Amino acid sequence: MIKRHIKEFIAICSSSWNKLFISTNDFKVILCTPFKVGSNSMLRILQCNYSFSWIWTNSGKEKVDKKYHQKKRFILRNHVTQLEPILVDKDLKFDCWITIIRKPYEIYPSGYFQDITTPDYPYYFGNKQRVNQASTQVLLNHFLSFDWSTFNQTNYHYNFEKILQFTGVNIWEKDFNKLKGFSVYPSKKSNVKRVGVIRFDKLNDRDTLLEFFREIKIISSRNAIVIKKNNLSHHKFYYSQYERLLAQLPQSYYDTYKDINDNIVKNFFYENK
């Protein structure tokens, strides 16, 4: 299944029709988000439609510098790796910092399962076999035993603090266009020109994505967007367990994180969504 999707992605992005629209300006992006908000999908969309190359921040400053200067269209990817070693370099200028908004209620269980087999994380449960053999109640008890508001990788406090630190833009104080599902703000610092904030649900909306890319100033003759998503839960080994856990989340879970979730909804969603 995954191999088939990869082949489809390569075929679409290498097609002669697609190449007609790929010519764009030099453009450097920081794609820095919490976990499980669609950053992989945004990456694939930018790769497929605008021929971006990318590298993780934790690849090291030397490798980042090299790729930055080699590629016209470049994405620096990050979640919670320290950005200071990269962004203190005044020679590295970025056209846009992109982050993506998703409800914390949805992020926490998705983040739990993404790294449930990774020993480096405090919510590590075990190998794939142990996860698949566990009862839903055992997994639910394990998930609920953690305070998900304390993890930088699954919350916006860290992400927004970094945006403020490096761009001078306080996302909490900005008006967000809930109707369009995105907003673009001018940066107050010289190494990043603007900050683009887009809602998770708009990653499925071709017209909105095209408008968003135009507003962050990617110059292209493209008038249509190919949407190619990646890192989706229904492709994962744990999908059935994930779905069962979601169905059994108790009211206490929603009560615990209500203030955090409501704050995101109030600022970025219509109240009835």
- Condensed to tens digits (0 to 9), the pLDDT of residues 14-33 reads 443 344 344 457 999 999 99
Long-range contacts of range 200-203, CB-CB < 8 Å, 24 or more positions apart? 200/37, 200/38, 200/100, 200/101, 200/102, 200/103, 200/106, 203/38, 203/41, 203/42, 203/45, 203/100, 203/227, 203/229
pLDDT at 110 over 90: yes
Nearest Cα neighbor of 152 from 176, 131, 122, 191 is 122
Please check whether residue 174 is in contact with residue 196, taking contact to mean a CB–CB distance below 8 angstroms: no
Specify the pLDDT at position 16: 36
Q: Region 263-268: what's the mean pLDDT? A: 97
Asked if the structure places residue 217 within a domain, the reply is yes
**CATH value at residue 97:** 3.40.50
Spatial separation of the C-alpha atoms in residues 80 and 124, rounded to whole Å: 18
Range of the domain at 24: 2-268
**How far apart are the two ends of the chain, measured CA to CA in Å?**
32
Please check whether residue 30 is in contact with residue 97, taking contact to mean a CB–CB distance below 8 angstroms: yes
Q: Which of 45-49, 112-116, 229-233 comes out lowest in average pLDDT?
A: 229-233
Q: Which of 9-23, 32-46, 168-182, 246-260 comes out lowest in average pLDDT?
A: 9-23
Q: Region 81-87: what's the mean pLDDT? A: 81
Specify the pLDDT at position 220: 80
pLDDT at 92 over 70: yes
* pLDDT tens per residue, range 121-171: 999 999 999 999 999 999 999 999 999 999 999 999 999 999 999 999 999
- Within 8 A by CB and 6+ apart from 257, the residues are 104, 105, 108, 148, 149
Spatial separation of the C-alpha atoms in residues 267 and 265, rounded to whole Å: 6
Asked if the structure places residue 273 within a domain, the reply is no
Q: Of 102 and 90, which is predicted with more confidence?
A: 102
Asked if the structure places residue 244 within a domain, the reply is yes
Give Dmax over CA atoms of the chain in angstroms. 53
Asked if the structure places residue 64 within a domain, the reply is yes
pTM for the model:
0.89
* pLDDT tens per residue, range 222-257: 787 888 665 566 678 999 999 999 999 999 999 999
Name the average pLDDT for the chain. Answer: 88
Give me the number of domains the chain comprises.
1
Please check whether residue 216 is in contact with residue 73, taking contact to mean a CB–CB distance below 8 angstroms: no
Q: Region 103-112: what's the mean pLDDT? A: 97
pLDDT at 2 over 70: no
The residues with which 97 forms a beta bridge, in sequence order, are 30, 195
Asked if the structure places residue 17 within a domain, the reply is yes
Asked if the structure places residue 168 within a domain, the reply is yes
Please check whether residue 202 is in contact with residue 182, taking contact to mean a CB–CB distance below 8 angstroms: yes
Distances (CA, A) of 29 to 71, 97, 257: 12, 6, 32
Using left for φ > 0, alpha for ψ between -120 and 50, and beta otherwise, residue 234 falls in alpha
